[in-house]
Amino acid sequence: MAVEKAFAINAEPSKIWEVLTSEINLAEQGVYEIKESITNEYLELRVRFQDGIEAYISYRLIPRDGHTEVVATMHPEGLRYAIFQMITFGRSNINYEMGLVIGLANLKQAVEGNGEPLLEDSPAD
């Protein structure tokens, strides 16, 4: 089941792209794998969370009048995810939704320069 969140960021796609890709380059080796990349438009990653669940996460940068809409979509997958979904009666997606919101809020703050990141939390914690 896909989880999707969107934020309006007051910047050009190139600035958002720069911050987004620099964060990925700082990540621990083996945690992220870039699956598809279209500069300033689209980025798809395969991510491995600490609990062993893997997910595809994509970012679409859509220029709007005066801002850029950043749409993040997460597709968790695998047996561990399926079991976790069954155990929690499908409520585990709330953690993934919060992870996307926190990630997008941190990206917005990093791009717009509005202070410190909100949290350093992962959706699997």
HSE-CB at 29 with a 13 A cutoff on CA atoms is 0
Average pLDDT on 6-15 reads 95
How many domains are contained in the chain? 1
- For 74-104, the pLDDT digits (tens) are 887 766 655 555 566 666 666 778 888 998 9
Q: Is residue 69 part of a domain?
A: yes
pLDDT above 70 (res 16): yes
Is residue 41 in a domain? Answer: yes
Whether 120 maps to a domain, the answer reads: no
Beta-strand ranges (E) seen in 3-105 are: 3-9, 32-38, 42-48, 54-64, 67-77
Cβ-based neighbour number of residue 115 at 10 Å: 8
Give the residue numbers spanning the domain of 32.
3-112
Question: For the chain, what percent of residues have pLDDT higher than 90?
Answer: 44
- The fraction of the chain above a pLDDT of 70, given in percent, is 73
